[in-house]
Amino acid sequence: PFAFVADTASDDLGMGVMDLSGVDENAKPARPVFPAGTYDAVIDDCQYKRSKAGKPMLAITWKAYHPSDLSKTVKVFDYLLMETEFQSRLKYFLIVVAPEIDLTCFKPNLAAFKLIGKNARLKLNIEVYENQPSNKIDGKRGILPPSSQVPF
């Protein structure tokens, strides 16, 4: 009795019948990519965790906005390691993005939460990641103070 109901059920979204036989089930969806340049951005997520190699880090997800259409965004991933040789990059990031954080007693587990929603400008370039173009922050100084007129 239920087979009849399933065959005749209405499709509220209007998709109708789809032919998926020619679809590559291993294909990855294309990521949106902005041209190289400087964009207003906000920290969408920040987590204090361990890298794949077991090193403590801040894993940051930025949302960058297209200047002519704020509905167009790209996610940019950045990782700040806590190891000594990377602390200058971490300090620069904190000075630019969250100057109110006390650098004399920095607690990354608490800072991660406080960094969500912070604004900056990102200098982005394009690199290939997993055989697809992707935006990446341009070097150690690719994070700039927020513009005085943040559009969002």
How far apart, in whole angstroms, are the C-alpha atoms of residue 137 and residue 127? 10
Give the chain's mean pLDDT: 89
- pTM of the complete model: 0.79
Determine the Cα–Cα distance for residues 16 and 148; give it in Å rounded to an integer: 49
d(CA 115, CA 105): 16
pLDDT given for residue 149 in this prediction: 67
What band does 12 get if pLDDT is binned at 50, 70 and 90? low
**What pLDDT is recorded for position 26?**
79
What digits encode the pLDDT tens for the residues 39-67? 999 999 999 999 999 999 999 999 999 98
**pLDDT band (50, 70, 90) for residue 152:** low
Rg (CA), the chain: 21
> How many angstroms separate the CA atoms of 144 and 95, rounded?
10
End-to-end CA distance of the chain: 54
Digit-coded pLDDT (tens) for 65-109: 998 899 999 999 999 999 999 999 999 999 999 999 999 999 999
Signed CA dihedral, 107, 108, 109, 113: sign only: positive
For residue 97, the model assigns a pLDDT of: 97
Q: Check whether 16 has a pLDDT greater than 60.
A: yes
Partners of 19 in the β-ladder: none
